[in-house]
Structure 1
């Protein structure tokens, strides 16, 4: 064999190996890259069609993939396409009356609808009038909190009246903002509302055998276990590309089914593992037991509270994404906090079962994550004599918390509700000045 032929064969072999390596690398990285483009598509779709903003890139987290993403918006079809460099790993999101869903096409039965619209006035609900006698310390407290990087809105409510509010440039009282995991506290409240409105729906927190495919040890998981994050299902809540949480939110058409398919890692009720997946299983159960579709949150909660801006998005299967995808104005988030503070009553009408908020904010001992947690609400007082989580605010405080710095803090003893929304990647309740803000406000109105 001639030397030239040997060189040619060697070059062909190298080329084949390179192609094989590229294919293998693509297969290896595909789930992560599809997660990234799904995130970008959903983010751009929701910001464009739900808020009317034109800066979706401002809500993308710091990640090496971000500079490689390309996004196209089709206003005529309500479609957004994101890809890597415009050619690979494309994902699409479709806008409908229930937000944006990632999928290969529009969800069956959904229609394109731009949700950029002014919040309409409703005669019913929680009014939140402006307070007329406001201590000077309130404005100073909000000004200090506004200096925290990424803060977009602050609202302070005392005895059902707005004391003061603050908005960053480009945001205002009518701008919907994503609450991320603050939606989990709404999900727990929806369980209470469903109990109240559908007494025969078999929604006892102690109930088990929740899904037909759970024919193994998972049949012992109770609704209470799901609400308290003690289901025992294997999960990873880290927001890295390719983890269960990001795969579920940005690559799975049926999020609850994906979460329910996870294996058991611990005996139910024994180990607390924060999981967005279990919250979506809860809302899937609510859909099944009540017979309500994606309009469930509107009918059970948003309409009676007057939360006219609220949009709880559905996934491609038409099921509500109760873990993460609730958009509302800061004032409507405050209305929800006021509803919790009022123990589930609006204008003297009881909308939650008596004692529901006590149940939701009571810590039940379990192994695993140590932070005091109730039923989809974070709690200041562990209830076992150990130190308060935030010693600078009243012991009876509890809160809804979301990714990137979203908070609704409820302080019953001070008759106070405080809302903070923003985009602060990596921000925690300890680093965002929440404790000082709430403590200062509680003292100002005390």
Structure 2
């Protein structure tokens, strides 16, 4: 059980639990265990070391999971510790190992947060809350400022507590609220009375998925029918048993209107809830806004320049005394040129449709919808052949164990390592500096691909290469100065670039300005790791209504809608949406670019994803661990959101049944609405 102790300042914790004692105890225990295993099993030294460190890593990951999960649920979702415990947010094993403690912001803490400790302080993890940035898990070393990584890895610096707020650009500067009197999606007025009546069967179907709501409805119906109290209790128990365990929120949008929604007791339409891997589709959307606006994101963008862990130990060319990847790769690190438009005289002569067609063609050329990476000095290298397309299509060729448990790659990446992308890059794949298989030859769904893609986007659009002393090695992306000029400025020196320096606040501002605010996603939080990188694989939280807004944007092909229902601003290019929601051949059907699809590349349903065989073939969706689902039905103009914590997920026959039921009920309700409108006219 999660039992919070009294709140303390982190400084007091440091005095009462000296790190020296904690690590000395851990060292002694590991040494004893090492000796026992070595003598009994006669294993090699490296194997013994792996086994000896396993309990410590598992305990640290468990406490990291507890601290991060409780921090987000408590501070972002606004839920009590009792509710978090009752709903089982924290896995049972971790609950048994780690004890929770809340603390306030202080001299050593950039915000209030959660500390989880286990084994008498041997295992410890801290997660900090930073407003609209959500919660981030501090590195196990406790270093919150200065360089978090050695030379050759990305640099990240956390601002001093209060520095952002003082500058007027802190995370809470982006907070906003929708008008509660305006209809969705521009406001949060809820379901209208007319739609509540017409879509009552849909609402009733949603409530059947919640144990508490289903039981209440069954009891009321039984009593209304004259049943005894015992019979009503039996009906309630049966309804609760048939519900889907752990359902927390459901939202249905039909023909651009919010027509039904239901929430578990204690949660509501403005409660941000985690989507786990639905964050991957958010990562895709953010990349799409950057491809549209500035051209700094291309699907053929090479991955290797953004991954210092993959840089060679020595310069590929002897022409530079300073290792400067920007100079080695030339223009490949710089954003693509703006799309070409026809000369003004020709544009005036062309019809509006022809002009639009020309611009769409120019945009498509800029996106280069091809898996082949841009030409560069490393193009012949196996890792140099990898592009952003390979990461988004889950065909990078990199190895990653996507199993979910405390000993697998996702848990270690999310709850132990300070850099999610750094962990994915540092894994042993096919050997040092080599993918397990050639990029584009195998579909392997992994969260590591997503966080590497997030790094590619951020470095290309908001980063610059810096050296050991902080000197720039390459022009800031966006400038037109040739990379060779930057190299010549450093000629003759011994400066070696330490990695990328990313303006994370500029990135965060772009996400809000170009996506969250235009769509009215007022509850959306995109959380980051200790390196400052948004964890695009897993850590996005928002209300069911806001998840529906993101899904509705892609249903509309990337174009938003005005308050009176007319076409509005284009948020993501249509070409990007089409490429993202179209199944790729390498996936065997069922996956596009960080969106799942129910169709195969040849238009049939099924493919390698068994759940798709019973679905209509024109669907695409976001999906996440423990039953998160955002289904988009183009043909029916329908969005279905389901959030919860369900063992085994929701992509099951029960999920298929819900999708089909809501689809049919929504169509029937729309027919009723249309008939009523005809009568009124």
* TM-score where L is the length of structure 2: 0.59
C-alpha distance in structure 2 between counterparts of 1:227 and 1:110, whole Å: 34
Stretches of structure 1 lacking an aligned partner (at least 5 in a row): 1-15
Change (3 A) 1:17 1:340: closer
Deviation at 1:21, TM superposition (A): 4.1
Structure 1's 278 and 83: CA in aligned 2 closer, same or farther, altered over 3 A?
same
Alignment of 1:64-143 (within 5 A): 64-76=93-105, 77-97=111-131, 98-103=133-138, 104-106=142-144, 108-109=158-159, 111=161, 120-121=177-178, 126-127=185-186, 130-131=191-192, 132-133=194-195, 134-143=198-207
1:380 and 1:190 map into 2 onto residues whose CA distance is: 23
- Deviations 1:28-77, CA, capped at 9 Å, x for gaps: 32222211111111011111211121233334454434312211111344
Distance 1:185 1:18, change over 3 A: closer
- What is the aligned partner in structure 2 of residue 204 from structure 1? 298
The alpha carbon displacement at 1:393 in A equals: 4.0
Cα distance between partner residues in 1 of 2:160 and 2:630 = 31
Which protein is bigger by CA-based radius of gyration? 2
Superposition pairs of residues 257-272 of structure 1, within 5 angstroms: 257-262=422-427, 263=429, 264-272=435-443
CA deviation after TM superposition for structure 1 residue 130, in Å: 2.8
User: CA offsets, 1:215-256, max 9 Å, x none?
Assistant: 541111111100011001110111111222111101111111
C-alpha distance in structure 1 between counterparts of 2:382 and 2:298, whole Å: 20
Q: What is the CA–CA distance in structure 2 between the aligned matches of 1:244 and 1:19, rounded to whole Å?
A: 24
Q: Deviations over 1:1-49 (max 9, x none)?
A: xxxxxxxxxxxxxxx9679449976523222221111111101111121
Q: Which moved more, 1:149-158 or 1:298-307?
A: 298-307
Alpha-carbon deviation of 1:387? 3.6
Cα separation, 2, equivalents of 1:442 and 1:371:
23
2-side partners of 1:358 and 1:118: how far apart? 31
SS state at 2:270 partner? coil
Q: Which shifted more, 77-86 or 414-423?
A: 77-86
Change (3 A) 1:261 1:299: farther
Partner of 1:13: none
TM-score in terms of structure 1 length: 0.88
| Residues 3-402 of structure 1 aligned to structure 2 (within 5 Å) | 20-21=35-36, 27-55=53-81, 56-57=84-85, 58-76=87-105, 77-97=111-131, 98-103=133-138, 104-106=142-144, 108-109=158-159, 111=161, 120-121=177-178, 126-127=185-186, 130-131=191-192, 132-133=194-195, 134-146=198-210, 147-199=243-295, 201=296, 203-211=297-305, 213=308, 214-215=310-311, 216-262=381-427, 263=429, 264-291=435-462, 292-347=506-561, 348-366=568-586, 372-384=590-602, 386-388=604-606, 389-402=611-624
- Deviation beyond 6 Å, 4+ runs, structure 1: 22-25, 112-115, 122-125
1:177 Cα deviation after fit: 0.3
1-structure distance, mates of 2:569, 2:33: 69
* 8 A Cα contact 1:392 1:439, kept in partner: no
Higher strand share: 1
Paired with 2:160 and 2:602, the residues of 1 have a C-alpha distance of 48
For 1:444 and 1:110, the matched residues in 2 are separated by 54
Distance 2:161 2:657 in 1: 45
The structure that is helix-richer by fraction is 2
List runs of 5+ in structure 2 lacking aligned partners.
Answer: 1-30, 38-47, 106-110, 146-157, 163-169, 211-242, 312-380, 430-434, 463-505, 562-567, 668-681
Cα 1:308/1:110, change in 2 over 3 Å: farther
Q: Match for residue 444 of structure 1? A: 665
Cα distance in 2, alignment partners of residues 296 and 410 from structure 1: 25
Q: Which moved more, 1:130-139 or 1:281-290?
A: 130-139
TM-superposed deviation, 1:316:
0.8
Q: Greater shift after overlay, 205-214 or 405-414?
A: 205-214
